[in-house]
Amino acid sequence: MRLCYTARPLKVYTSADVYRTGAASRINSANDSARNVPAELVSHLVPLTAISPLDGRYGSQTAELRDIFSELAFMRERLRVEVAWLTGLAALGLPELPPLPDGATRALHQLAADFSIEDCTEIKAIEAETNHDVKAVEYFIRRRAGAALGGAAEFIHFACTSEDINNVAHAL
């Protein structure tokens, strides 16, 4: 693939390349710059190869928005919605849904509150296997909190579509 009029093909890196190389785990927060990403990826994260001027030319002025509009932020909000849905269902006292064990509600909310780029990287790895972004969040919750949830783990994402989770997460 050639971009612009370079004499040699320009390697275009995808988010999968970033996750596969572990670069994502070296970015400490949503507001960090690309300086922590391996050199072979940084050379292509420049204004001229950015998706839009918001990340390129105006990247330094819009850096704070990454915590709101980045994929990391969207994934964090999906997790918050899934946690709120499960804890809300459990609070209804449905006969089919066993009550959440002691500390499970706190553990779920803590999982969402402590969400990190490493957690997001784990979700992206699950997504690479399932080819489904929202299902990956569901599986992440099962991996991290399933033991604490007991039988209630079967009710993660119960009666929801992906759009139910996504549209609320976008609004947050």
In CATH, what number is assigned to the domain containing residue 160?
A: 1.10.275.10
My answer on whether 53 and 80 are in the same domain is no
Give dist(CA 71, CA 117) in Å, integer. Answer: 10
Position 2 in a domain: no
Beta-carbon contacts of residue 48 (< 8 Å; ≥ 6 apart):
4, 56
My answer on whether 35 and 110 are in the same domain is no
My answer on whether 94 and 153 are in the same domain is yes
Position 29 in a domain: yes
Q: How many structural domains does the chain have?
A: 2
Domain that holds residue 127: 70-171
My answer on whether 28 and 93 are in the same domain is no
Q: Residue 6: what pLDDT?
A: 39
Q: Which residue has the higher pLDDT, 147 or 24?
A: 147
Q: What are the angstrom distances between the C-alpha of 50 and each of 24, 41, 79, 113?
A: 17, 12, 28, 30
Q: What phi and psi values does residue 105 have, to the nearest 5 degrees? A: -60, -45
My answer on whether 85 and 134 are in the same domain is yes
Residue 27: both structure tokens together: 């970015």
| Model confidence pLDDT, tens digit, residues 18-70 | 555 554 444 434 444 433 445 554 455 577 777 788 888 888 888 888 889 89
Position 1 in a domain: no
pTM for the predicted model, two decimal places:
0.71
My answer on whether 83 and 142 are in the same domain is yes
| Model confidence pLDDT, tens digit, residues 76-131 | 999 999 999 999 999 999 999 988 988 999 999 999 999 999 999 999 999 999 99
